[in-house]
Amino acid sequence: MKILFFGDVIGRPGREAVKKILPKLKEKFQPNLIIINGENLAHGTGLSSKTTKEMFDAGVNLITGGNHSFKNEDGLKLLDNPQTPIIRPLNYPSNMPGRGSIKLEVMNQSVIVFNLVGQAFMKDDVANPFKAAQEFIRENSKSSKIIILDWHAEATSEKIAMGKLVDGQISAVFGTHTHVPTADWEITKKGTAFVSDVGMCGVKDSVIGVEKTLILKHFLEEEPVKFELAQGDVVINAVSLTVDDKNGKAIKFEKINELVS
């Protein structure tokens, strides 16, 4: 099984760049499953019918989320639609829209993808992600050999700790949220692919996808500013993962860093 996973796709620039580069990456990596983190699809905050349709039409199979998943009214309807392959973090309260995991049939093989959000330096009141991960794996490990986690968290220590907790129990832990790719990607001795943060699909000359002059003004003047997305060449941060269908262990893990003009 070959899986292509894109870090946070930031607004229109990110969407357009993903659409542009996908044919090239599909030819090179021959993925069976394409996943993006889409919590920032709609102008950098939340998702919408239009933006998700763009991604699905481009060949994306699944959209995962994070703390911005609930920020767009149109997106809430998508989360509640069981026919739409979109998930949000599992450890939000059960009365929130959407679901935290999905089981897909890919090439006659079951693949389970689940989503968690961290607690460290995050504002939302969510259940303990470590306990949620343990419970989820315990309940689902017999349903599929291939289990993927989109781990949407701020602190690298919290992200690494999750990797240690689930090591050898699932196929991969893909960190998202900070928009900055980390250098710790590896396949562990127990066969789990791990990276603290995949990065983003957003404008390179920016501050995590946002117009840099606004962020500099915010820090220099210490006053709130209205964030606007940057424009320009887009960096594509993604990973390609190959998993052994028989045991769900990661066998090849490649980092993707491309610039799209």
What residues are annotated to the active site? 68
48 and 40 Cβ atoms separated by less than 8 Å: no
The amino acid at residue 195 is V
Residue that is written with structure tokens 């060449």 in the block? 233
**Separation of CA 160 from chain center:** 16
Integer Cα distance of 169 and 190 in angstroms: 8
**3-state secondary structure (DSSP) of residue 149:** strand
Which are the contacts of 34, defined by CB distance < 8 A and separation ≥ 6?
Answer: 3, 4, 5, 6, 22, 26, 59, 60, 61, 62
Q: Which of 245, 102, 254 is nearest to 193 (CA)?
A: 254
Q: Which two tokens stand for residue 254?
A: 């490649």
Q: Which two tokens stand for residue 258?
A: 């491309």
Integer Cα distance of 117 and 248 in angstroms: 23
The amino acid at residue 107 is M
The amino acid at residue 19 is K
